[in-house]
Amino acid sequence: MKTMKPIKMACASAFAAMLASAGVVYAQAQASESTSQPSSTSSSTPMSSGTNSSGTSAPAGESSAGASSSSAAGTSTAAGTLNSTDKKMMMQLAQANIAEIETAKLAQTQTKNPDVLAFAEKMIDDHMQAAEELAKLAQEKNVTLPGEPDAKHQALAKKMAKLEGDKFDKQYMAHAGMEDHQATIALLKRINTRAADPDLKALAGKMLPTVEEHLNTAKEKKQ
C-alpha cells in the first residue's frame, strides 16, 4: 500500500503536464489563425473620393472631379478664340456690312427713285441685323471689329456723293447692289468651306440666303 502513493502522485504530475502542453498548443493555433485572416475593417471600408484606384491618397486638388472641371475649362477657353484666318474673314464680313449700310444711307439722301429708296432701306435693315449678330459673335470670340468702311468704299462714297438722280441710281445699283453683294456671297461661301470655328460658319450660313436675295433684287432693278 505504501508503494501506491508515489505512483499516484507521479501519474497526477504527468497528467498536469499534458494539460499545460495542450493549452500552449491551443493558444499558438489561435494566434496563428488570427494573424492569417485579413482585417475586416480594411476590406469593408470604401475608397474615399481623395484616393486613386491603387488605394493611395491623391494630392490635393487632383481628384477626378477636379481634373474633369479643369479639362472643361480648357475647352471653353479654346472655343472662345479664333485662328488668324477666321479672324480675318470675320473682319471682312464686318466691312461688307458697314459698306452696305453706309452706301444705303447715302442713297436715302441722293435718290429720287422710290424703288431704289426701298432697296436702300432694306439694305439698312438687313445689314444692321447681320452686323449686330456678327458683333455679338465677335465679342464672344474676343475679336475687335472695324467701325468704318474700308479705304476702297470710303473713296467710292466720296465720288457717289457728287452724283444725283439717275446717275447716282445706276452707280449705286451697280456697286452696292451688284458688285458688293457678289463679293459678300463669295466671302460667305469661303467662310462655310474654310472656317475652323463652327459658330462663324453657322452665322455665314444663316446670312447667305439673305445676301443672295439682295443680289437677285438688284439684278431685277437694274434691268
Residue ranges in the chain whose pLDDT is less than 50: 1-8, 10-12, 14-17, 19-29, 31-78
Q: Give me the pLDDT at residue 68, please.
A: 38
Q: Give me the pLDDT at residue 223, please.
A: 60
CB atoms within 10 A of CB 171: 18
Query: pLDDT tens across 22-68, in order?
Result: 444 444 445 444 444 444 444 443 343 344 444 444 444 444 344 33
**Residue 73: CA atoms inside 13 Å, Cβ hemisphere, count?**
6
Rounded Cα distance between 137 and 208, Å, is: 17
Residue whose C-alpha cell is 474615399:
48
- Which grid cell is 218? 438688284
The neighbouring-strand residues paired with 51 are 57
How much is the pTM? 0.64
Total count of residues recorded for the chain: 223
Q: Give me the pLDDT at residue 221, please.
A: 78
Q: Give me the pLDDT at residue 108, please.
A: 96
Q: Give me the pLDDT at residue 44, please.
A: 40
Q: Give me the pLDDT at residue 80, please.
A: 67
Nearest alpha carbon to residue 175 among 94, 99, 118? 99
CB atoms within 10 A of CB 222: 12
Distances (CA, A) of 210 to 34, 146, 166, 200, 216: 84, 22, 26, 16, 10
- Which grid cell is 69? 472641371
Q: Give me the pLDDT at residue 1, please.
A: 44
